[in-house]
Amino acid sequence: MKIDRIVLRQLRLELVHPFETSFGRTTGRNVILVEASSDGVSGWGEVTAPEHPFYNEEWTESAWLILRDYVAPALVGRTLEAARAGELTAGIRGHNMARGGAEAALWDLEARLAGRPLYRHIGGGARTEIPCGVSIGIQESVPALLAKIETELSAGYHRIKIKIKPGWDVEVVREVRRRFPDIRLMADANSAYTPADADHLKRLDEFYLMMLEQPLAHDDIVDHAALQAKLDTPICLDESIRSARQAEQAIRLRACRIMNIKLGRVGGFAEARRIHDLAEQAGIPVWCGGMLEAGVGRAHNVALSTLPNFVLPGDVSASHRYWARDIITPPIEVTPRGTIVVSNEPGFGYSLNREFIDSITVRRESVG
């Protein structure tokens, strides 16, 4: 397909509840949408870069500039296949979320041109219902956390992830376990610890968590390997896995027993699939992480979660947990079974709320 034009839009969306992690608190999102068109058909991608460079190096502003000045000019006017589009921007060091938002738009476009659902186009379809988990941010108090968990369990979610940080960890997990001894529970530290905390983290073994996500530095593999050798709890890497090469190194060093794959963090579907395949060959289960996505990114995550080795519930949950109104129709809904039913419509499977999108657009630029 020939890429005629790429349009960037930046939207502002307020969260229904603030979301707090070890690296900060988010009250609303600056979402960049990438619209790529060919022959009058448009494909859509969402850039998952957060509002500040505290998860990885990217933020809204860096993503906008990289997309406008490097990614879009590398793609517009070219005839390409989505599976190889990443190669055209591979010379850019880092900025995977900016690259990945555009790459995802090209997969959606190619799927629509073929009249096919995106999940089929990427080679998914191992399941047509996605088992869902939720990620619960750091709360004001333990009773507030317990109440949130109760709500999510009643909604049918299959596993609960809580965010931890020094001062909100072992004793909080102990209370959660006391109240909910049988649930599938995990904790995400977002790199809040160092190797000097190994004995402290070892105390979490008592609570038979499904996994401990990214306890150590955002760019580390070697220290995680040493920590994994010491813990009974499986380590899951998030921030540290940005490419298939890093996934291969983490597997080789036994730095984790589970991987979280995020479409943006790894630069798109092609790299996500490579990581998925390496993990599958190594017997490492994967799940789809989230970045507080609006509907377009959320629908892409649903498609990704249909690949065979996404055997664990991910952080892909209902739109209404984040947004009073989503940018897609219908919003992403979760069944009483705690699943999302995959759409068979062409492309990412939902309609865009064009008027709503226009009403919350704060800037727009076109390349081509």
66: nearest Cα among 88, 97, 22: 97
Task: Tell me how far apart the alpha carbons of residues 82 and 297 are, in angstroms, rounded to a whole number.
Answer: 17
Residue of 20, 35, 108, 188 interacting with ligand OSB (CB under 6 A): 188
293: nearest Cα among 47, 53, 103: 47
Nearest CB to Mg ion, comparing residues 21 and 60 = 21
* Binding of residue 188 to Mg ion (CB under 5 A): yes
* Binding of residue 20 to Mg ion (CB under 5 A): no
One character per residue 85-104, x = contact with ligand OSB (rule: CB under 6 A)? --------------------
One character per residue 127-146, x = contact with ligand OSB (rule: CB under 6 A)? --------x-----------
Nearest CB to Mg ion, comparing residues 58 and 188 = 188
Nearest CB to ligand OSB, comparing residues 30 and 37 = 30
Q: Which of the choices ligand OSB, Mg ion, none does residue 315 contact, using the CB cut-off of 5 to 8 A by kind?
A: ligand OSB
Residue of 238, 251, 288, 294 interacting with ligand OSB (CB under 6 A): 238
310: nearest Cα among 301, 318, 319, 297: 301
Q: Taking the complex as a whole, how short is the minimal distance between the CB of residue 126 and ligand OSB, in angstroms?
A: 22
Q: Mark whether 148 is an active-site residue.
A: no
* Binding of residue 55 to ligand OSB (CB under 6 A): yes
Tracing tokens 């009403």 back to the chain, one arrives at 359
Q: Mark whether 230 is an active-site residue.
A: no
Per-residue CA distances from 348 to 6, 82, 232, 352 (Å) = 18, 14, 39, 10
Q: Which of the choices ligand OSB, Mg ion, none does residue 191 contact, using the CB cut-off of 5 to 8 A by kind?
A: none
Catalytic residue among 148, 202, 230, 262: 262
Catalytic residue among 163, 165, 202, 230: 163
Residue nearest Mg ion (C-beta atom): 238
- Over the range 196-206, which residues count as b (16 or more CB within 10 Å of their CB) and which as e? ebbeebeebee
- Rg (Cα) of the chain, in Å, rounded? 20
Element of type H or E holding 193 = none
The answer to whether 238 and 212 are in contact (CB under 8 A) is: no
Quote the tokens at residue 67: 């997309």
Quote the tokens at residue 144: 């507030």
Please give the residues from 281 up to 320 whose contact with ligand OSB meets the rule CB under 6 A.
289-292, 315
Residues that bind ligand OSB (rule: CB under 6 A) add up to a total of 10
Examine residue 330 and say whether the peptide bond preceding it is cis (omega within 30 degrees of 0): yes
Please give the residues from 144 up to 173 whose contact with ligand OSB meets the rule CB under 6 A.
none
Q: Taking the complex as a whole, how short is the minimal distance between the CB of residue 52 and ligand OSB, in angstroms?
A: 11
Please give the residues from 228 up to 247 whose contact with Mg ion meets the rule CB under 5 A.
238
Quote the tokens at residue 154: 């009643």
Q: Which of the choices Mg ion, ligand OSB, none does residue 152 contact, using the CB cut-off of 5 to 8 A by kind?
A: none
CA 335 to chain centre: 21
Residues forming a β-bridge with 17: none
271: nearest Cα among 99, 91, 86, 47: 86
Q: Taking the complex as a whole, how short is the minimal distance between the CB of residue 350 and Mg ion, in angstroms?
A: 25
Q: Which of the choices Mg ion, ligand OSB, none does residue 228 contact, using the CB cut-off of 5 to 8 A by kind?
A: none
The answer to whether 258 and 312 are in contact (CB under 8 A) is: yes
Nearest CB to Mg ion, comparing residues 46 and 238 = 238
DSSP tag of 206: G
Contacting residues toward ligand OSB, per CB under 6 A: 55, 135, 188, 190, 238, 289-292, 315
- Name the site residues for Mg ion (rule: CB under 5 A): 188, 213, 238
Instruction: Report the catalytic residues.
Output: 163, 262
